[in-house]
A and B are shown apart, each in its own frame.
Chain A
């Protein structure tokens, strides 16, 4: 699933860093059925980890009720322009991806 993450981070006027990320993922709950009445197996992101350098700035657990192609945004203190931010996800089938961005 390489290339599934679009991430942007920017220092806002109050000095906090705002991170916005879009992830390409089906986020299938496992409760839906296809047209033949077969259950579509669950496939959704369970964990998202976001790091500023080595420091974890957000740890997230998601269930299947987060929308398809999920969006996430949050803010944290202590970052400066040019720092690196890293976001990674893991889904219930063990698949994962990670991406980095430079804070603007």
Chain B
């Protein structure tokens, strides 16, 4: 009798664990979707975007590097690479100062992922491209001007 009770308990425990694991697996995409920071991406100015992504004091730093063309003929496709020599980088944000909504992309880097991201962005007109990096809780920035010949946000 007692043995059976043990077995029964074991059984329920195991199935609960499975259910929890499955639940966790199912929840993940949903949580992610909910996590999209609408206020940050909808912010109309760089300062608003900073405060929406939890900006504190920011230090301009040479350890944050932006690779971008000096002149972009087509503002619809501007290749940008952000990298850093800083240690413990957990977040990288890319902003375009003069876009209608400056925040372009936000990357969360788990341990083991290098502080290096490369992507292509749209720019409405000539503007500074800003990279913000969070390393060990502190915020560092760098900016680089990209001249745009044909804007990438028009019709």
Contacts and interface: CB of A to CB of B under 8 A. Distances in A.
Given A46-B36, A58-B107, A74-B118, A63 B101 contact: yes
B68 interface: no
Contact of B29 (A61, A71, A72, A90): A90
B116 interface: yes
B86 to A, nearest CB: 15
B99 to A, nearest CB: 6
B121 interface: yes
A13 interface: no
A31 interface: yes
A24 to B, nearest CB: 14
B117 to A, nearest CB: 5
A14 B123 CA distance: 34
B70 interface: no
Interface string A57-100: 11111111111101111111110000000001010101010000
A60 B117 CA distance: 10
Contacts of A76: 112-114
A28 B113 CA distance: 29
Contacts of B116: 74-75
A68 B119 CA distance: 11
Nearest to A32: B155
A57 to B, nearest CB: 5
Interface in B92-138: 96, 99-101, 103-110, 112-114, 116-123
Given A35-B155, A61-B36, A64-B101, 10 more contacts: A59-B107, A60-B107, A65-B101, A66-B104, A66-B122, A67-B77, A68-B77, A75-B113, A77-B114, A90-B32
Interface of B: 29, 32-33, 35-37, 41, 76-79, 96, 99-101, 103-110, 112-114, 116-123, 152-155
Interface of A: 16, 27, 29, 31-35, 46-47, 49, 55-68, 70-78, 88, 90, 92, 94, 96
20 contacts: A16-B114, A32-B154, A46-B33, A47-B35, A57-B112, A61-B36, A61-B37, A61-B105, A61-B107, A63-B103, A65-B103, A65-B153, A67-B121, A67-B152, A71-B119, A73-B119, A75-B113, A75-B114, A76-B112, A90-B29
